Structure 1
């Protein structure tokens, strides 16, 4: 019988995988750890890029798959998706009997992982707690902090915030963000080393990328989901006015995603976007390589706040989705206003300055987290430090 410590990591969405890929690799490689990888929710769905295909291609064995996404992409569907997740994950944990469960970040359905593990007296580790944004993710993130036994945070401010929430400082570790590990590797590449059209397909025109290009990734904001269509339309109009080669990525599965998707499709039917190509998904390394050699990122993805800070990629961050998150000097914040977006992007195009920052770590988070998962005492009762 193996004496290895069993670590169950739950991946629920495309961004979650890229966030913890180096953690998974470090756990898999560690001689005293046994990785139990559970893939759930939108990470299994083709219309969101089927992250599970990349997970398997990268050589990770999947211990269980949990299909729990309820159709609708609204607030009721989000709540019910989480409820189904609790039911299904509880069965998976009962079968796998992990020593520690690891949950990632703050997407709404990750609450299911935290509740199932906590109610079953399984020690819970949380990656990327203690950050602030201002939407539903914030409630989820802080609630998981209170359920979690170990905290692997991505910045010093996040560490202090988790401690202020009453957590034992001895169980809060500033490991940096695991996604920076991939950014650190990508930063060594001198050029874009693949053809995105050939490798990933997508739809739309195929603009020449040799003289530079922009990247767009804009998600709905859960507490502003009714406005998701008008938000994306402002960005579409701005990008059309800017008229630079642009690679545009599909949104996450969040409340309001229907509005974002419908807005994009309707706009494409009405206007010919000669300089824009649309992708569903891309492997994490390729996506960061694409960003690294772009002229800048437009939208509201956390990749602009995290990995782009380390890489020094200029970012025009639209709206409230990343409110109050620690930033590097690479970010320009704007509202959902067409002219404001155009002005900011024009400034980025004219001033291609690369200012890098290690606010989210320097590139060794995966190995640090794996070592902590081996060393930490197994506990599921907490002493709250109020």
Structure 2
């Protein structure tokens, strides 16, 4: 029997950690062949060169798609999506996959969904059905309507996908694949197993982490991109006033990323920030180890909602980027106000850790691979011309 060819498109650094265990399970499955396509910001050094980690983990790259248009604004995002459709259509034509897999809700994933749909290639969507109240939600739900198979991460997400009109027979609550990594970290992470300064370099001072530390990961909000600099300045000021050891990660390539990045650079020019060290990126498991031993995560990353829920890591979630997502009891929501951020960090740093399995129990990768091997490949949606 010929192996079923599964093309997985990775477009950004978070996407890789989200599906690493899926890639491994597909690669090891006797009836599946992995076609790994790396595109967009996952190829760019300024956003951490996720492709380096992919290669180091032993995955073979089937194709690369360079489609990011500089600018980090709404126009650049729209044009990057358009270029992605053009380039991915050619890649799919060459690879001839049996199924295309796309991840989550970034604007680049829309290009994957459109190209596969119009080429009549069955599309599987991981992490559909979630709500956030911003442009990502529109993208996510649009991909759901284009997708044929749905591997959602929570009961609430499954319910929403079915309410969107999708066939319940093709909607599966597998949990989130990133929880698979978190499970391994939780079982093995007694102490931080590496020195982040030595292994990842970064820039800034190197505060002592032995008595506890904070982690910050804050991205621009696409529909509030014009305020991204003001948003990051509030967090910078709160962290400065607290003067606690802090490891800070660079933002994603979203509209408004320039404002976030420039805000950080400008603030560093006028403040010593002796308590802060900055990183571009980190391997997924190392990042989870880092979070697992942190006093608190601050910002607006979905890792605070997903992996930190499973690990029980306290989170101060700032602003609207994660509105309405299913969550555990580890999250406190605050506005972009210095005093509110400071007070929440102080409280959360002392909080009792309460883990939650709202996003699964740690076996999503294998579940998804098994489903990809046995799901019928008939096209149960029809594109009308």
TM-score by length of structure 2 reads: 0.98
Matches within 5 A, 1:359-374: 359-374=358-373
Q: Within 1, Cα distance between the matches of 2:107 and 2:324?
A: 19
Matches within 5 A, 1:123-202: 123-188=122-187, 189-202=189-202
Give the aligned partner of residue 222 of structure 2: 222
Displacement of 1:151? 0.1
For the pair 1:211 / 2:215, whether they are aligned, the reply is no
Q: Within 2, Cα distance between the matches of 1:147 and 1:16?
A: 19
SS of the equivalent of 1:86 reads helix
Task: Indicate conservation of the 8 Å contact 1:126/1:148, yes or no.
Answer: yes
Give the aligned partner of residue 283 of structure 1: 283
Q: Within 2, Cα distance between the matches of 1:370 and 1:249?
A: 31
Displacement of 1:379? 2.6
Q: Within 2, Cα distance between the matches of 1:352 and 1:360?
A: 21
- Runs of 4+ more than 4 Å apart: none
Q: For each residue in 1:253-301, what CA deviation from the matched residue of structure 2 results, as whole angstroms up to 9, or x when unmatched? A: 0000000000000000000000000000000000000000000100000
Q: Within 2, Cα distance between the matches of 1:344 and 1:75?
A: 32
Matches within 5 A, 1:280-359: 280-349=280-349, 351-359=350-358
Unmatched runs of 5 consecutive residues or more in structure 1: none
Displacement of 1:352? 3.4
Q: For each residue in 1:139-186, what CA deviation from the matched residue of structure 2 results, as whole angstroms up to 9, or x when unmatched? A: 100000000000000000000000000000000000000000000000
Q: Within 1, Cα distance between the matches of 2:327 and 2:351?
A: 18
Q: Within 1, Cα distance between the matches of 2:140 and 2:42?
A: 19
Give the aligned partner of residue 266 of structure 1: 266
Q: Within 2, Cα distance between the matches of 1:306 and 1:65?
A: 28
Displacement of 1:383? 8.1
Displacement of 1:69? 0.1
SS of the equivalent of 2:113 reads helix
SS of the equivalent of 1:187 reads helix
Unmatched runs of 5 consecutive residues or more in structure 2: none
Q: Within 1, Cα distance between the matches of 2:27 and 2:143?
A: 25
Q: Within 2, Cα distance between the matches of 1:290 and 1:23?
A: 22
Displacement of 1:88? 0.2
Q: CA RMSD for the aligned pairs?
A: 0.9
Task: Indicate conservation of the 8 Å contact 1:149/1:379, yes or no.
Answer: no
What is the count of residue pairs matched by the alignment?
Answer: 382
SS of the equivalent of 2:107 reads coil
Q: Within 2, Cα distance between the matches of 1:212 and 1:238?
A: 17
Displacement of 1:135? 1.1
Q: For each residue in 1:2-40, what CA deviation from the matched residue of structure 2 results, as whole angstroms up to 9, or x when unmatched? A: 700000000000000000000000000001000000000
Displacement of 1:134? 1.0
SS of the equivalent of 2:233 reads helix
Task: Indicate conservation of the 8 Å contact 1:330/1:355, yes or no.
Answer: yes
Matches within 5 A, 1:46-65: 46-65=45-64
Give the aligned partner of residue 12 of structure 1: 11
Q: Within 2, Cα distance between the matches of 1:231 and 1:144?
A: 29
Q: Within 2, Cα distance between the matches of 1:299 and 1:235?
A: 8
Q: For each residue in 1:101-124, what CA deviation from the matched residue of structure 2 results, as whole angstroms up to 9, or x when unmatched? A: 000000011000000000000000
Provide closer, same or farther for how the CA distance between residues 79 and 360 of structure 1 changes in structure 2, counting only shifts above 3 A.
same
Matches within 5 A, 1:109-120: 109-120=108-119
Give the aligned partner of residue 235 of structure 1: 235
Give the aligned partner of residue 252 of structure 1: 252
Task: Indicate conservation of the 8 Å contact 1:205/1:275, yes or no.
Answer: yes
